[in-house]
Amino acid sequence: MATDGGRQQRRGGFKSKPRKWMAFFVGQLLLLLSGVASADLRRGGDMGRRASGDAVEDLRDTVECKVAPDPETAATSLAPVILSSTKLTTTLHCVAKGSTMIPTAPEKVCVTKQNATVKECATTSDDDNKHAVALKELLGETSEARWIEAQPVPPETGNAWTLKLKESDLPFADKSFFVGCQNSGSNQHCRVDVTVKARPSVVVDNVVTCAYGSESNSETLKVEITEEKSTLTIECGNDGSIVPTSYGTVYCGSDDLTSCEKSYSDILPNYAKTWWKEEGVQRDVATLTIPKQNFPAEDKQFYIGCSPMSVEGASKASGIAKGESERPAVPGVSVCKVLVTVKAAGSISSGESGLHIVGGASGAAVLIGLLAGSF
């Protein structure tokens, strides 16, 4: 009996060791997942607080424009306003009772060009687009952005107007304009210069949408073409064009988009130019579709992109009327670059492979159950 009891105790001792190891590893896993979950909650809370804080900051982001006899003196005393995805709202406060915003039409702004003045913009007639332009002409035809009369604090100190953009209002190239204030019955003005930063270039589901602002292309976009997801669409829009121009025949070998003489036939079996389809009247959108039977035996890469328009195009983007003799200050521009990887036949995208643990603690509970069942 003693011997049998000893055996049972030894068997129990042997069996307890893997249980202890399982408990240890599960404890470490729970600790790790709880830390990730806590970090996510903290990030979520911080984002909520930042979003709320941004709203308050936006409401308080008021530019006080004090009219003066010399508009140039008034203009130099005000810092330019920069609107972007992190700052979409600004308020112009005309600090003088009876003063009004220039231009008076809430959907318009003054065109930035050499020697432009608030006085010129104020005298623009409905038939004259040389000094004022609609916001939708700068931001895009779908934009409904306009200045809305706001309540200054205190109200007896003048009048105020607020411009609140949406992220969808952000242009594809940096745009500049100015607004101002004018005293009623006087020749006194003040001016505020505004720059709207372009949206970033993005790739979603193998559709590349390019933008050309000074901060739009901080890194090269990456796209993978597989047998399951066999298309690439590149959208250059009205502010750019596809590089290389002969993209149906040749591709670029590096991200500077200057060495673009290599033939697709060298990397894609039985390549045909008809794999590319142009969309729209302008050559600003194109789609590449690789037939399933024509994928290479190993991964192949090439570069393509969108280049911003020339100075002539940038003039239009800045709002200057065609035919003007003045040369505008061209906003900063950048090139949209895309690295395309054509995956080998039979392979899957790196984004589709790998183990994903979803659900945090609930995923850990499932894992514990599986481990417990094995002992």
304: enclosing H helix or E strand: strand 300-308
pLDDT of residue 70: 56
* Cα distance between residue 191 and residue 65, in whole Å: 7
Q: Are residues 79 and 149 in the same domain?
A: yes
Residue 371 lies in a domain: no
Beta strands in 84-174 (DSSP E): 89-94, 100-102, 108-111, 132-134, 147-150, 159-164
Contacts of 160 (CB under 8 A, 6+ apart): 62, 91, 92, 93, 94, 149, 150, 151, 152
Residue 157 lies in a domain: yes
Q: Are residues 140 and 253 in the same domain?
A: no
Residue 349 lies in a domain: no
CA distances to 232, 320, 347, 353 from 227, in Å: 12, 47, 8, 14
* Cα distance between residue 154 and residue 160, in whole Å: 11
User: Are 99 and 164 in contact, with CB atoms under 8 Å apart?
Assistant: no
Q: Are residues 190 and 290 in the same domain?
A: no
Residue 315 lies in a domain: yes
Contacts of 347 (CB under 8 A, 6+ apart): 226, 299
Tokens representing residue 351 in the block: 């984004």
pLDDT of residue 283: 56
pLDDT of residue 250: 97
The predicted model scores a pTM of 0.68
Determine the structural domain holding residue 34 and report its residue range: 26-60
The candidate with the shortest Cα–Cα distance to 173, out of 55, 73, 309, 35, is: 309
CA distances to 92, 222, 274 from 306, in Å: 36, 14, 20
Q: Are residues 69 and 55 in the same domain?
A: no
Residue 103 lies in a domain: yes
pLDDT of residue 282: 58
Residue 77 lies in a domain: yes
Q: Are residues 231 and 190 in the same domain?
A: no
Strand 159-164 versus strand 175-182 pairing type: unpaired
Q: Are residues 240 and 142 in the same domain?
A: no
222: enclosing H helix or E strand: strand 221-225
CA distances to 103, 206, 316, 352 from 229, in Å: 50, 8, 37, 11
pLDDT of residue 95: 87
DSSP 33-89: HHHHHHHHHHHHHHHHHHHHHHHHHHHH-EEEE--BSSHHHHHHTSPPEEEBTTB-E
Q: Are residues 55 and 73 in the same domain?
A: no
- CATH number for the domain spanning 87: value is 2.60.40.1320
Q: Are residues 245 and 302 in the same domain?
A: yes
Residue 139 lies in a domain: yes
Q: How do the pLDDT tens digits run along the chain, 375 residues long?
A: 445 555 444 444 444 555 555 555 545 554 554 444 444 434 444 433 333 333 333 445 789 888 766 555 544 457 899 999 999 999 999 987 788 899 999 999 999 988 888 888 987 655 555 789 999 999 998 999 999 999 877 767 888 999 999 999 999 999 999 999 988 766 788 899 999 999 999 999 999 999 999 999 999 999 999 999 999 999 999 889 999 999 999 999 999 998 899 999 999 999 999 999 998 665 589 999 999 999 999 999 999 999 998 644 443 333 333 333 332 334 478 999 999 999 999 876 665 433 322 233 434 443 444 444 444
Beta strands in 236-296 (DSSP E): 240-243, 250-251, 262-263, 276-279, 285-289
Give me the number of domains the chain comprises.
3
The candidate with the shortest Cα–Cα distance to 225, out of 205, 195, 252, 202, is: 205
Q: Are residues 69 and 30 in the same domain?
A: no
The candidate with the shortest Cα–Cα distance to 191, out of 177, 201, 210, 178, is: 178
Give Cα 36 distance to the centre of its chain.
27
Q: Are residues 152 and 178 in the same domain?
A: yes
- Among 196, 220, 244, give the residue marking a domain's end: 196
Q: Are residues 47 and 112 in the same domain?
A: no
User: Are 200 and 216 in contact, with CB atoms under 8 Å apart?
Assistant: yes
Residue 121 lies in a domain: yes
Strand 132-134 versus strand 250-251 pairing type: unpaired
Q: Are residues 209 and 337 in the same domain?
A: yes
* Cα distance between residue 90 and residue 292, in whole Å: 51
